[in-house]
Amino acid sequence: VFTGNVHVDDAEMTIYCHKMIINFEGDSKNAKANKKVKDIICLKNVVIIRKLEKADKKNGSQKATSGKAVYDVQAGKITLTINPALQRGEDTLRGEIIVFWTDSERLSVHKSTELKIRSNPNND
């Protein structure tokens, strides 16, 4: 468990939050076991910034915010709850629950979906 100004700099994303809980698989009594991370729970003021390839940067930065994020490491999915929002450039997506997969552009939004898209008429 990490608390305070938690900052994780991963190869794919940067995560900020107030509290992070990392759960491992396997027998917790065997300290010598090579344990894999099962899930990561981020709480309060969660910000996840996706690191983009140069070609993807033309659409703007990609950022997720919420009050809680649960990263299921094996499934490669992050579930955002408590006022979640996704931003890409000027576009914003909100819902009660937002789930996105780290290995693809796939996502799902559950309940009260709100999408704001800013168009640029001068951009062809």
Burial label for 116, CB within 10 Å (0-12, 13-18, 19+), is exposed
- The three-state DSSP-derived secondary structure of 18-68 is EEEEEEECCCCCCCCCCCCEEEEEEEEEEEEEECCCHHHHHHCCEEEEEEE
For residue 124, pLDDT over 50 is answered with no
Q: What is the mean pLDDT of the chain?
A: 85
Kindly state the average pLDDT of the residues 27-43: 78
For residue 28, pLDDT over 70 is answered with no
Q: What is the dihedral of CA 124, 57, 90, 79, to 10 degrees?
A: 130
pLDDT of residue 110: 85
pTM: 0.80
For residue 56, pLDDT over 70 is answered with no
Comparison of pLDDT for 27 and 92, the residue scoring more: 92
pLDDT of residue 10: 86
pLDDT band at 31 (very low <50, low <70, confident <90, very high): low
Q: Model confidence over 67-122: pLDDT tens digits?
A: 999 999 989 999 999 999 999 888 889 999 999 898 887 888 988 777 777 766 55
